[in-house]
Amino acid sequence: MERIKSSDEMAAHRAERAKLLKKERDMAWDKPVRERATAIEQQAALIIWKVREHERDVDFGNQASEAIPGPETLDLGGQFLTNRDRIERSRLFKIAQELPKGAHLHLHFNAELPAVILLQKAKDVPNMFVRSTEPLVQDENYATSEIVFNVMSVSTTPRVDIFSATYKPAFRGDGVQPWMLWSDFRVQFRERNKHSKSHCYGDAEEWVLHKMILDQEAVYGLSQTTNGIWARFNQATRCFKGLMNYESVYSWYIGEAIDNMIRDRVMYAELRPMLLDKQIPGNDGKKMLDHRAQMQIIIDQVTEKKKELGAKGELHKFPFGLKIIYCAPRSIPKPMMQREIVDCIKLKLEYDDLICGFDLVGAEDRANHIGFYQEELVAMQQTCHDLGISIPFMFHAGESLLDTGGSKNPENSNLYDSVLFEAKRIGHGFSLLKHPVLVEEFKKKNICVELCPTSNELLHLCRNVKEHPYPEILAAGIPCTINSDNPSLFTNSVSHEFYQVMVGSMSMSLYGWRQLVNWSIQYSCLSKPEQEQAKQILEKEWVTFCHFVVDTYGKEFADKEFQDIPYFVRSEPS
């Protein structure tokens, strides 16, 4: 026993432990922010830590013990959809809502506004049509059918009945006409289903809304699989498409999306539209708007919104407008991909300040991998060089558990070609840590990862945010940003995402939040002068935010005692 109590050996052990901890602290990815922290930031950091840990123990209450947690408890950092209502009532989420978030760099174009708003708008469109993949005759048809929308000419579109057994859902072929007027569909849906006990949907909008978002049943069902939820996700995406891809709502959508970003404390965004379809319908369903017309609508609406903000003295809330990352699907043949690249370059030449990147999108467990298009992408790089323009690649990559680029060969991972094509950023990067060589290449080439934690959970890459690899990616020294990906489908926001990364890792703090926001500006496609302006705006907003935290929650949490407060939120880190 005397040996065990040796004070000399204990002192040596403590000294070695202190050295080991110091080495890790010195390599911490948020160290630059912590070292420059002001007194108000230090106060806010400690308060936010206390709020989080109080809510873990009390408001969520699912604690580790021999007792089985009660049904009223929830797991902080557990399943997002299960927790969302309690999240939105929490103090920590209210803090996250006030957080200045910088730039939003991974946002799909048709997924910024809630589905319910788009369905409300569709009610006022007299020539909105709907198509089903099967007749709605039997009860099971309501569960298995896929629904898509489109604005068409009332005068030239024949009337059909989706509720008839003779309805033909095919949309290709001579004489085929599967489109039913949405107003007629709503009336018939109500009449045919008001006495039904087979499902609980009172009206057509409620039924369609269920198909447009990923709910707990769809995501967490016992029989759900990665491939199953991806198919469900793609169906929802197609449903959204027709509700916003027509002239009047396209214009309205841009302004509403900007307002939504401002409410979420985002000052700039780079949107990802899928531009495979070369036209969208005008309001009458006859006139068609090409890509040039669509880009001009975006420019005009951004200009109008900035003018409106300027008149109110609020231009600092969204001073840089929007930019567009041209997206093409990885599933198309090579000749079609070449046409997409040509279209992207043409738009860049005409709208240099608007088009800021090129991406290949789609489920990565399906063909094709990025390298499949290597000839086309190499030619694109050379053409851009010859024309004196820059269209950086911002590929979706590593958004997969298999990580084989839709093939049987692990060396077809999209992460390899993201490095070889010198991507500026990649989307998701969930599988990056499987590749130690690529981790070093990412750091060497300064490639940023656009993290989308909730998206990765709902699409079955991880069970909850605590299982997400973002802490390890950050610890490896790779710069990252926080993004909501498809908020309309996932019912999330950038505020939710910052909340999630705070509760998903015990080592996350206010300083980590700030570093992530800093990187969102640094790795954006804003010019250097614009980035400097953004940093100045952020600095002012950050001070205001820290004061908000201290003024709102400081008194409540001043006397709350906690054991083991970590060094990174103590006023004097040791």
* Residue ranges of domains in the chain, CATH in brackets: 97-114+237-538 (3.20.20.140), 126-212 (no CATH)
Give the pLDDT of residue 32.
Answer: 97
d(CA 514, CA 482): 11
- Tell me the pTM: 0.97
| 41 has a pLDDT exceeding 60 | yes
Place of tokens 């709907």: 130
| pLDDT value of position 346 | 99
**CA atoms of 157 and 160, how far apart (whole Å):** 9
pLDDT at 200 over 90: no
Kindly tell me if the per-residue pLDDT of 140 is higher than 50.
yes
DSSP string, 364-402: TTSS--GGGGHHHHHHHHHHHHHHT----B--EES--SS
Where residue 573 falls among pLDDT bands split at 50, 70, 90? very low
> For residue range 529-555, what is the model confidence (pLDDT) as tens digits?
999 999 999 999 999 999 999 999 999
Mean pLDDT, rounded, of the chain: 96
pLDDT band for position 172 (50/70/90)? low
pLDDT band for position 5 (cuts 50, 70, 90): low
Integer distance in angstroms from the first to the last C-alpha of the chain?
32
| pLDDT digit string, tens, across residues 113-136 | 999 999 999 999 999 999 999 999
Largest CA distance in the chain: 97
What gap in Å lies between CA 423 and CA 551, rounded to an integer? 43
Stronger pLDDT, 189 or 196, i.e. the higher one: 189
- pLDDT tens for each residue of 391-400: 999 999 999 9
pLDDT at residue 198, rounded to an integer: 56
Residue 90 to residue 498: CA distance in whole angstroms: 14
User: So what's the pLDDT on residue 574?
Assistant: 40
Read off the DSSP letter of residue 411.
G
pLDDT confidence of residue 350: 99
Identify the pLDDT of residue 8. 86
Decide if pLDDT at 285 tops 70: yes
pLDDT of residue 71: 94
Nearest one of 82, 81, 215, 454 to 73, comparing CA atoms: 82
Assess contact for 265 and 98: CB atoms under 8 A. Answer: yes
Q: What is the pLDDT of residues 15-32, one digit of tens each?
A: 999 999 999 999 999 999
Whole-number pLDDT of residue 192: 87
Q: With 70 as the cut, is the pLDDT of residue 199 above it?
A: no
pLDDT for 177: 86
- In the chain, the percentage of residues whose pLDDT exceeds 70 is 96
Distances (CA, A) of 61 to 55, 76, 88, 342: 8, 8, 16, 56
Determine the Cα angle at 551 with ends 550 and 553, to 5°.
65
